[in-house]
Homo-oligomer: A and B are copies of this chain.
Amino acid sequence: MNDRLRTPDELEGELRAIGAVRYHHLHPFHALLHGGKLTKPQVQAWALNRYYYQVMIPIKDAHALTKLPTSELRREWRRRIIDHDGDREGTGGIERWLKLAEGVGLDRTYVASTEGILPGTRFAVEAYVNFVRDKPILEGIASSLTEMFSPGIIADRVQGMLANYDFVTEETLAYFTPRLTQAPQDVDFALRYVKAEAKTRADQEKVLAALRFKCDVLWTQLDALYLAYVEPGLIPPGAFVPK
């Protein structure tokens, strides 16, 4: 077994290789979503469930904040919380996601209640929050690195959804516009951090495992949507039933 310390660039190469085979851009749900193959209720189910992910991200980032030892690091990470929570009422990523959900015809209060989400969504998202809460910060930061792969999927999504759904407008998708600049900035820091701080082979293995775990978190959310709302359409008791 190879137990040589990887160079930082080798580590980055292996991280990118994980994304190439495990990131959720490969999930068939996304091909349907971006290709205009979903009905409006199916797009609603996606927006509703994904809201729970959005709303838990600042909680996850607050757990990370508790583990960062310097003001410099906390200032860097704090930006993520500001991005999601905004700096005044009516701003921030969570608010923009609620607008997206309203834009596709959902009731804002219903979405915000998270009552109708799939248990599979809840368990996957909470697994992510707990991971960052319970693991050393190196792994928590590594788990954020799925954002290395997000600009591509966001571009595909915005373009595909605007072209293919008459109920989707640019305003509805306003969530994604700032993400195109925020994500690379976040990745830049996180990738530098893990490359510098994974100082043993064992650390590097944990960094790679953290990214695999996070890919599973994203993938499993789409699995749950696919089963319930695409094929075979097996909606669990209590979850959102499209009208």
Residues of A within 8 A of B (CB): 21-22, 26, 28, 119-120, 122-124, 126-127, 130, 212, 215-217, 219-220, 223-224, 226-228, 231-232, 234, 236-238
Contact = CB atoms under 8 A, between A and B. Distances in A.
Contacts of A22: 237-238
Q: Is the interface of A mostly helix, strand, loop or mixed?
A: helix
Contacts of A21: 237
Q: How many copies does the complex hold?
A: 2
A220 B130 CA distance: 19
Nearest to A127: B123
Contacts of A231: 231-232
22 contacts: A22-B237, A28-B234, A119-B219, A119-B220, A120-B124, A120-B220, A120-B223, A120-B224, A122-B216, A123-B126, A123-B127, A123-B217, A123-B220, A127-B127, A130-B130, A220-B224, A223-B228, A223-B236, A226-B232, A226-B234, A227-B227, A232-B232
Q: Which 7 pairs of residues, A with B, have the shortest CB-CB distance?
A: A119-B216, A123-B123, A227-B227, A123-B127, A22-B237, A119-B220, A123-B124
